[in-house]
Amino acid sequence: MAFKVFIIAGEESGDKLGEGLILSLRKQNPDIEIRGIGGNGMSAAGMGQSLFPMDHLSVMGIAEVVPRIPKFLGLIAKTVQAIRVFDPDVVVTVDAPDFSFRVQKKIRKLNLRAKQFHYVAPTVWAWRSGRAAKVKQFLDGMICLFPFEPIYFEREGLHSVAVGHPMVSSGLIDGNGIRFRQTHSIPVQQKVLGIFCGSRASEVRGIAPLLIDVAKRVKEKHPDLLCVVPTLPKWKDELQQMFSSAGCDALITADTTEKWDAFHAPDVAIAVSGTVALEIALAGVPHIVVYKMNKWTWEILRRVVKTKFVHLGNVLLGHLVYPEFLQDNATVEKISSAIDTLLSSEIECKIQEESSRKILYLLEPNPNEKAADRAAAFIRSYFINERIPE
C-alpha cells in the first residue's frame, strides 16, 4: 500500500523546499503517492498538478491579507476537502503560516489518521511567542531551519528538529562569479551592483522602484557601475520594463542555469529582506537590506516584533553586520550612501565576508547530509517507530 503524502507550499521559496522534501521522501520510500499545492518544482518532483495555482496564497502583510479573506476561506475549504478525500498518511505544510495553520487546525478537528507537520518554523523568537504552544495543539512535528528554533517548540511538548537550511546544499556555495562575468563579457575590474527585488508581487512592484532610484543615484558617483538583476522568469519582462522606463541600464537574468553564478558576481548588493538576503550573505557578497510594507501592517508589526533585526544573518550572529533600511528609514539618500560606503571601504566588506563563513557554520549542522533528507527522515521516523515517544 502506497505511503500517501499531501504537501502544501504557498510561494517560490516554499516550492523549492517542498521539491527537495518530495525528492527525499521518494528516495526513502519509492512506494509513495503525493498530492498537494505547489509550484513547478514540486509538480516536477512527483506531486503532479497542483490543486490550484500556488500564487493564490502568496500574500504577505496583515493589510494585504484582509481584503482576500473570503477567497482564502474558500481555498482553505477546498484544500481540507481534498485532504479528506485523499486520506493521506502525512500532511506537510511548508511556510505560508496564514494559510497553512488554518488548514492544519481544520484537519485536526476532523480526526483524520494523518500525522501533521509544518516545515519552516514560525518566527516565535521574533514575535507572538505564544504561537509555539498553539501549534502544539494541531501539529505532530515541527521542522526548523535554524539551530536556535527547536527549543521554543520542544518546551511546549512539540517534537522538533533543526535540519539546517537547504540553501547550503542548493549549489549556492559553489556559484562562480568569474564565470558569470565571462559569460556576459563583464570585465573583472568593472564594479557590479547586484539588485535583488524579491519574489512577491508586493516586493517587485512596491520596492523595486526604490531600488532603481538608488541605483541611479549610486551610478552618478560611479558611472561605470553595472547593475545585475537576478530574478525569477515570471518577473523578468516587468523588471526589464521598469529599469528601461527609469533610464537605468541593467543586466536582468532569469536563467536558472546561471542563478548561483549571478549571486557571486556582484562586488556589492542591495536586496529586499528575506531568504534572498541570507543567500547573498552565504555567497559572501557585501550588501544591505531594504524593506517597506503597507503602513498599517508596519505599525502593527513594529509594536509586537521582539527581535532587533530583520536580516536572518544579523539574527543568527546576534549583532548588526548587514545594514538594514526599513520603512521610513528606507530613503534613496540613506541607502545610496550605504552602498557607496561598501564600494569604497575594504574594511566593511571584509567584515561581511568573514561573517558569511560564521553563518555557513551555523546553518550546516551536518555537512554530509542534506536538509531535505533530514526533514524526510524526521517524518518517516513517526512511522518506522510507530511514533517518537512523548
pLDDT in tens, the chain (390 residues): 789 999 999 888 899 999 999 999 999 988 999 999 999 999 999 999 999 999 888 654 444 556 667 888 899 999 999 999 999 999 999 998 889 999 999 999 999 999 999 999 988 765 666 789 999 999 999 999 988 899 999 999 999 999 988 777 778 889 999 999 999 999 999 999 999 998 888 888 989 999 999 999 999 999 999 999 999 999 999 999 999 999 999 999 999 999 999 999 999 999 987 788 999 999 999 999 998 876 766 655 565 566 678 888 998 888 999 999 998 899 999 999 999 999 998 999 999 999 998 888 887 655 557 889 999 999 999 987 544 333
- Do 190 and 314 lie in one domain? The reply is yes
- Do 221 and 142 lie in one domain? The reply is no
Q: Is residue 27 part of a domain?
A: yes
State how far the Cα of 379 lies from the Cα of 4, in Å rounded to an integer.
Answer: 12
Q: Is residue 171 part of a domain?
A: no
User: Could you tell me the CATH number of the domain that includes residue 272?
Assistant: 3.40.50.2000
Q: Which pLDDT does position 312 carry in this prediction? A: 84
- Do 55 and 128 lie in one domain? The reply is yes
144 in Cβ contact with 159 (< 8 Å): no
- Do 71 and 191 lie in one domain? The reply is no
In sequence order, the 6+-apart residues with CB closer than 8 A to the CB of 61 are 202, 293, 294, 297
In 3D space, the residue among 125, 191, 131 whose CA is nearest the CA of residue 156 turns out to be 131
pLDDT in tens, 147-157: 889 999 999 99
Q: Which pLDDT does position 292 carry in this prediction? A: 82
- Do 322 and 338 lie in one domain? The reply is yes
pLDDT in tens, 44-76: 999 999 999 998 886 544 445 566 678 888 999
Question: Structural domain tally of the chain?
Answer: 2
Q: Is residue 389 part of a domain?
A: no
Q: Is the pTM of this model over 0.85?
A: no
Q: Is residue 170 part of a domain?
A: no
Domain containing residue 188:
177-363
- Do 17 and 137 lie in one domain? The reply is yes
Q: Which pLDDT does position 60 carry in this prediction? A: 46
